[in-house]
Structure 1
Amino acid sequence: MNPKTHFRLVVLHVVVLSMLLILLGRLWNLQVMNGDHYREVAANNRIRDIVVPAVRGMILDSSGRPLVRNRTALVVSVDKTVLSRQDDDGRAVLDRLARTLGTRRDDLEKRIRLCSPTVKRPCWPGSPYQPIPVDDRVDPKRALQIMERAEDYPGVIAQVQAVREYPRPEGAAAAQALGYLQPITQEELDKRRGLRVTGYSGVDLIGRDGLEAVYDADLRGTPGVRQVLVDSQGRVTGTAREQAPVAGSSLITSLDAKVQAAAETALRNAVDKARKAGSKADAAAAVVMDVRTGRVVALASHPSYDPTIWIGGISQDEYEGLLGKGKGQPLISRATQGQFPPASTFKVSSVAAAIADGYPLNGTYPCPGSYKVGDRAFRNFEGQAHGSMNLHRALVVSCDTIFYKFAYEEWLRDGGTKPVKKPKDPMSTMARNFGFGSPTGVDLPSEASGRIPDRGWKRSYWNATRQDTCKAAKSGYPELARTSPSRAAYLRAIARENCTEGFVWRAGDAANFSIGQGDVLVTPLQLARAYAAVANGGKLVVPRVGMAVMRPDGTVVREIDPPRAPELPVDDKVLTYMRKALAEVPKNGTAAGAFNGFDLKRVSVAGKTGTAEVYGKEDTAWFAGFAPADKPRFAVVAMIAQSGTGGSYAAPAVREIFEAMYGTKKTEGALVNGKLPERLPNVRPDGTVGVPARGTAP
């Protein structure tokens, strides 16, 4: 044999022997060293996990009335993954399903397509790997047909599930406060690893807004798992293990359904009244708060919407209606997210600032019809002069010129347009102490912070808008010039000034600030918190809607206590002085007309009107107050945008809310003895709720 051939044969034998040894070693490793592990893996290949959904917890008011609960429904879902494995991508199955459900295949295909910037609703905003619900109001006979003939409907699931229901107790909707549910997205699944989902039940829905979002982890519950044995063809042959689901806990809130309904009705009435008078009245809000604790009793926003719109999917037109300006953007809570100039309701902060800056609390001040601020005359409302008066009277009749004087003199002491190194800015400093310009910390998402302008803010704003301002100064508003040359010339002159010196904090800025105008913006909730601080002696309470989390069997998981309330840096004698002055407003002041005939001896009310002028819009009406004036328990704020004066529209709304809370000679009040429940409601194992105890007469 050729030596080369012999060598090659030897090498080949060595290679073959080496491969046999490797194969034997690997076989020994699999069967001996790791045999137990791979036997377990093989066994698991015959096991499938089926997620058993948990019932989502209820949301209740302080008396146990259900604001959100569940109803059982037959839900039909489609698994796109299964359909995609079929030769026709599941079109035949969808045809059969459409005939069974009494709809069209095209409609089903729209429901199961994935949402994207180019795909309009209806579409599926959740994970593409989950079964997608297509009908949650299925006739039982049709659902039974699907379940009994599963071989004709591969990838189609029909099961009884819990679906969210909004019973509107006492007529209360509270849509923005409650929030809504939407399918969980794949991105959220990736972030929340270990979260079990079924694709067609409430366990896959996640809170997107309001209380549903903030307390989602408590309400969600824990889904169960049923492990079933399957054969090679995927047919179930038995059950390996079963873990029962744990129902979600219920959320007890401080909302009172009767008061909430009264607030919503009062806003609708105020809006209707303003519109009948010819005003636009496009938005409104109301807040009722316990001044001692910060518990929110009512949180109303107008326009509102029916939260059942989210159940079973939402069309593109409906979705755009919730967000679009055409219907007033009802998804936005004007109470916590709406930002408006507060006008004269802001004067409680300005009084405190003036006293802190050295002006005498019991001094006498002139209230002329106008006051010269720099080279410009700033007028009282309708130019009315009231003569000399004290600050008590200034709040009662809402004199503006006294506050212009305070602001202008403080501005001058700070250096005017060339400020000193460390200006005191007493007005803006006190406003921030009252909680304006920052979120209140309420347990609701997306709360607006409002705006407290000052020198720093104005420079930042100028830097951000300078390019557009200078462009407007150069162009001169050509479109407006065709219809209103004088107006265009005025705006162009302002634009020119702002282009070069728009960063300067001017005397007019300070004057407008003092009466809650100019660039000042607050939310109704911030204003309610500020008046609660005046009412309770200086505690800046942190608003809370949630009160407790309670298991289905009635045991309390935890009580939700409001955070510690910081102290308002205002002398108690100043707060007492303001409370007495505010108590005169409904009797002899700017709200006297609105409270005419109201039994102020039975329930004394204190408060302040506000009428905010907004460029290019109609006036915004405000009333902020509290009651009883001598022993304050509740602060109430109402705001009606683009309506008119505070005394004509907002104050009557607050009166209506107080009458609903305390009752009248002819009607019973929503609050027994003028108090909220002192104990949590009793949630019984059968799902019913016992009425909690009420307080004694105040």
Structure 2
Amino acid sequence: MKKKRMRLLAIFLTTCMLILIGRLVYIQLVSTESFSKHDINLLEASVDQRSQILKIDDGRGKFYDRNGEPLAHEEIPTLVLFPFLKKMTWPIDEIASIIGRSESELKRAIEQADEPFVFGGDEPIELTASQSKAINQLKIPGVFAVNEKLYHNQTPAAQLIGTTNISDAEKKKRYPDMNLSPETKIGNTGLQRTFDEFLLSSGESKLVFHVDASGGPMFGVDVKYVEPANPLYPVKVVTTIDKEIQEKAEKLVDERGIKKGGIVLIDIKKSEIVAMVSRPALNVKDPNGAGAVNMMLTQKTPGSVFKTVTAAAAIDHKAASPSRTFNCNLTIDGRTDKQRELGMLNFESSFAQSCNRTFAELSQEIAEKDPDFLESYAKKLGLIGETGWQGDVYHTRVTQLYHEQTGKVWHDADLKKDPKMIAKTAIGQQDVQTTPLAIANMMATIARGGKKEQVKAVSKVEFNNSTTVVDFKNQDMGGETISPYTAMKMQQLLRKVVTEDKGTGASLRDLPVEVAGKSGTAQTNMEKGELNKWFAGYFPYKNPQYALVAVNFETKENSTSMTPLFSDIVKVLYSKDQD
């Protein structure tokens, strides 16, 4: 009986040993790179356990402004220290002397550290080129001067640049043939999304130091700089944004109290977005909240800015002779306008003072001959369809702007037969919808003499060695456009909005540059008394360089007009051009 129990115990112990040995074989030899349901790479985990690592760059491509300035990050030469220095004797006095800090500061920082760190914490010291060189020439293990990439909580043009995420499900859906690590970021919105295939990481850059069980440096092992196998990455996406102008524009929009709206500034000759501000601002803690929507790419009711379309049609149809006048004491349906009696006005003054009655009459007359004229001229001026750059790049379709809405004139084609609906549509009400970007590009089109071009947000993509991957050339939008003659007449009308004493843009007359433009006030919610307030135009008038839209959505009647904000931006550009 006793021998039997001993035999059973021996069998049990042997079985347990075999199970343990089998488990170790499975762990050590079979599942080294995908252990457990979490697919843990045991080899990497083993190395990590005996390594101290400082990630310098996650390897994802970066965004730069048109002058080469980093947008979403900052590259700062900084001092990196490893915690094993506390167990070593090293020339701390020399480092302190080079960076101009006390030895006690350095000692205290190292004593408190459990992992490699940038000296200075949230406010790292910024080394000069000579300081960096002096530090690295000392070749002290665990002491390095490196270019650290620091990411900002608030990115200029945040909605345009966009956000990233690390969703495994989305990675598999978008890149089923790629084995992306759990830490790899992919684009979620904005340019981060539309340029994601260019931006994907090909490996991170990091400093790695192997340590022993006590955390000290292993004998004979030096710190290694590990970088992506392909030296051409990460890529640089060179945007058309001017960082200095963008930051000033964001400040001005906030100072003017714009809660929902913003500005779009276009370089007319290059057809590029120089600045784009969208409010509400993006909240990094809630990247999919209300602030994630780029309001400058979202269609809204334009109000009287749309009279630009009706005016262009009236010019081509010869519907408004210089001698003809309109009773601007009346509303669009012929009743007395008690709120805004403007008297008898000709076509030019009607445009300058934004008389609804004139454009109601003209649109009804033109519609009898051409029922589709409003939609036709909206297309000619680029208010319908996508405004942003798109085209084939290496057999792949690239659309630069993320979720740009396309605009519309009619919701129901039958409404074209109703004179009342025609009148409302002609003044930018009823079903008319368009984006601030499209309005800005309409102004650029008129300023260019009728030449209609796609708008770029990115000028080129470069490899890490600054060679060009792709260069985005100017592209026509396609389709019909207005004639040079019509564009010239529209330029004169837009200028008169500012020069006429009672023009809706008269407050812009005293600016240091000549401005042309059009105001707009659209009723969006009668019950709440909400309005969209616009001012769109271009400048300088005689040598156009910039097209600009300033807009405040869902605001109240007593809120300020958009001309002060428009004026603010013009002054910023004028001041910059004088430097």
| Alignment partner, residue 399 of structure 1 | 355
Change (3 A) 1:251 1:452: same
Give the partner amino acid of 2:472: I
Change (3 A) 1:244 1:512: same
| Alignment partner, residue 196 of structure 1 | 179
Q: Does 1:426 align with 2:373?
A: yes
Aligned match of 1:590 in 468, 485, 503?
503
Q: Does 1:205 align with 2:185?
A: yes
> TM-score if structure 2 supplies the norm length?
0.68
Q: Post-superposition shift, 1:647?
A: 10
Q: Is the 8 A contact 2:374 2:409 kept in 1?
A: no
Q: Is the 8 A contact 1:294 1:542 kept in 2?
A: yes
Give the partner amino acid of 2:356: D
| Alignment partner, residue 262 of structure 2 | 285
Separation (CA, whole Å) in 1 of partners of 2:543 and 2:416: 45
| Alignment partner, residue 25 of structure 1 | none
Q: Is the 8 A contact 2:531 2:554 kept in 1?
A: yes
How many residues get paired? 442
Separation (CA, whole Å) in 2 of partners of 1:54 and 1:257: 23
Change (3 A) 1:515 1:378: farther
Separation (CA, whole Å) in 2 of partners of 1:455 and 1:569: 24
Separation (CA, whole Å) in 2 of partners of 1:381 and 1:575: 34
| Alignment partner, residue 612 of structure 1 | 522
| Alignment partner, residue 385 of structure 1 | 342
Change (3 A) 1:395 1:648: farther
Per-residue CA deviation, residues 642-681 of structure 1 (Å, 9 max, x unaligned), is: 3357994211111100100112xxxxx2x467xxxxxxxx
Separation (CA, whole Å) in 2 of partners of 1:623 and 1:450: 18
Aligned match of 2:255 in 269, 276, 280?
269
Q: Does 1:452 align with 2:409?
A: yes
Q: Post-superposition shift, 1:386?
A: 2.7
Structure (1 or 2) with the larger CA radius of gyration: 1
Separation (CA, whole Å) in 2 of partners of 1:566 and 1:455: 25
Q: Is the 8 A contact 1:54 1:248 kept in 2?
A: no
Per-residue CA deviation, residues 90-142 of structure 1 (Å, 9 max, x unaligned), is: xxxxxxxxxxxxxxxxxxxxxxxxxxxxxxxxxxxxxxxxxxxxxxxxx9844
Q: After the TM superposition, which of the residue ranges 556-565 and 354-363 deviates more from structure 2?
A: 354-363
Per-residue CA deviation, residues 43-96 of structure 1 (Å, 9 max, x unaligned), is: 9988878699852222111112211136799xxxxxxxxxxxxxxxxxxxxxxx
1:83-102 correspondence to structure 2 within 5 Å: none
> TM-score if structure 1 supplies the norm length?
0.57
Aligned match of 2:157 in 174, 192, 212?
174
Separation (CA, whole Å) in 2 of partners of 1:647 and 1:593: 18
Change (3 A) 1:70 1:370: same
Q: Is the 8 A contact 1:283 1:641 kept in 2?
A: yes
Aligned match of 1:623 in 535, 539, 562?
535
Change (3 A) 1:293 1:196: same
Q: Post-superposition shift, 1:583?
A: 1.5
Change (3 A) 1:70 1:206: farther
Q: Is the 8 A contact 1:289 1:634 kept in 2?
A: yes
Describe the SS at the equivalent of 2:172: helix
Describe the SS at the equivalent of 1:649: coil
Change (3 A) 1:282 1:647: closer
Q: Post-superposition shift, 1:444?
A: 1.5
Q: Does 1:351 align with 2:311?
A: yes
| Alignment partner, residue 136 of structure 1 | none
Give the partner amino acid of 1:192: Y
Q: Post-superposition shift, 1:215?
A: 1.4
Separation (CA, whole Å) in 1 of partners of 2:65 and 2:240: 6
Give the partner amino acid of 2:281: S
Q: Post-superposition shift, 1:532?
A: 0.8
Q: Post-superposition shift, 1:570?
A: 2.1
Separation (CA, whole Å) in 1 of partners of 2:377 and 2:186: 40
Aligned match of 1:579 in 491, 496, 520?
491
| Alignment partner, residue 298 of structure 1 | 275
Give the partner amino acid of 1:424: P
| Alignment partner, residue 466 of structure 1 | none
| Alignment partner, residue 19 of structure 1 | none
| Alignment partner, residue 566 of structure 2 | 654
Separation (CA, whole Å) in 2 of partners of 1:598 and 1:381: 33
Separation (CA, whole Å) in 2 of partners of 1:515 and 1:286: 22
| Alignment partner, residue 333 of structure 1 | 294
Q: Where do 5+ consecutive residues of structure 1 fail to align?
A: 1-41, 74-138, 145-159, 226-241, 272-280, 324-328, 415-422, 459-502, 664-668, 674-698
Give the partner amino acid of 1:582: L
Q: Post-superposition shift, 1:292?
A: 2.3
Change (3 A) 1:207 1:381: farther
Separation (CA, whole Å) in 1 of partners of 2:351 and 2:30: 77
Change (3 A) 1:211 1:243: closer
Separation (CA, whole Å) in 2 of partners of 1:384 and 1:67: 49
Separation (CA, whole Å) in 1 of partners of 2:381 and 2:534: 18
Separation (CA, whole Å) in 2 of partners of 1:358 and 1:634: 30
| Alignment partner, residue 214 of structure 1 | 194
Give the partner amino acid of 2:244: K
Describe the SS at the equivalent of 2:296: coil
Describe the SS at the equivalent of 2:422: helix
1:463-502 correspondence to structure 2 within 5 Å: none
Separation (CA, whole Å) in 2 of partners of 1:649 and 1:546: 31
Give the partner amino acid of 1:594: S
Structure with the higher helix share, 1 or 2: 1
Per-residue CA deviation, residues 331-378 of structure 1 (Å, 9 max, x unaligned), is: 1111112x22111111111011123334155452323311564xxx36
Change (3 A) 1:557 1:569: closer
- Note the aligned Cα RMSD (angstroms): 3.7
Separation (CA, whole Å) in 1 of partners of 2:229 and 2:163: 26
| Alignment partner, residue 240 of structure 2 | 254
Change (3 A) 1:299 1:243: closer
Q: Post-superposition shift, 1:440?
A: 1.4
| Alignment partner, residue 55 of structure 1 | 59
Change (3 A) 1:378 1:429: farther
Separation (CA, whole Å) in 2 of partners of 1:381 and 1:347: 22
Q: Post-superposition shift, 1:254?
A: 0.8
Give the partner amino acid of 2:192: E
Describe the SS at the equivalent of 2:270: coil
Q: Post-superposition shift, 1:613?
A: 1.7
Change (3 A) 1:580 1:596: closer
Give the partner amino acid of 1:353: A
Describe the SS at the equivalent of 1:370: coil
Change (3 A) 1:434 1:69: same
Per-residue CA deviation, residues 390-436 of structure 1 (Å, 9 max, x unaligned), is: x222221212111110122234x26xxxxxxxx63212221122222
Q: Post-superposition shift, 1:633?
A: 1.0
Per-residue CA deviation, residues 295-332 of structure 1 (Å, 9 max, x unaligned), is: 000111112135xx2xxxx5xxx46xx52xxxxx2111
Q: Where do 5+ consecutive residues of structure 2 fail to align?
A: 1-27, 34-40, 46-54, 79-110, 117-145, 206-226, 390-399
| Alignment partner, residue 487 of structure 1 | none
Per-residue CA deviation, residues 492-513 of structure 1 (Å, 9 max, x unaligned), is: xxxxxxxxxxx78522210011
| Alignment partner, residue 368 of structure 1 | 328
Describe the SS at the equivalent of 1:548: strand
Change (3 A) 1:213 1:655: same
Per-residue CA deviation, residues 138-170 of structure 1 (Å, 9 max, x unaligned), is: x984448xxxxxxxxxxxxxxx998761286xx
Per-residue CA deviation, residues 493-537 of structure 1 (Å, 9 max, x unaligned), is: xxxxxxxxxx78522210011111122111100100111111110
Q: Is the 8 A contact 1:61 1:256 kept in 2?
A: yes
Describe the SS at the equivalent of 2:446: helix
1:430-441 correspondence to structure 2 within 5 Å: 430-441=377-388
